[in-house]
Amino acid sequence: MMRLTDRLLERYEGNIEVEFAGEIVRDSPIEDAFEVWLDSHPSNGSINQRTYDFNTIREALYALYPLGVFVSPSFHALNNRSESSAEFG
């Protein structure tokens, strides 16, 4: 997901916000890698990590759908332009 985020931010620089929505497994190599990547990312102001409880995750996902959002179980990318954020090369 981090590489996909890099590609989306490169393609839609300044017009996209990426949200990682979900639990972080504490004290794991993935958490360590994610924190190093996020802290050093040149566009870290456009990357968010939030944790939703089971009851609100559905509401959060459905709120983004009309805005042209690419969604996977752990990743959302909001493209502020009219193009679909899922279309990148």
Domain ranges within the chain, ordered by starting residue? 2-79
Q: What is the pLDDT of residues 28-47, one digit of tens each?
A: 898 899 999 999 999 989 99
User: Rounded CA gap, 51 and 1, in Å?
Assistant: 16
Pairing label, strands 47-50, 16-21: parallel
Q: 0.85 exceeded by the pTM?
A: no
pLDDT of residue 40: 95
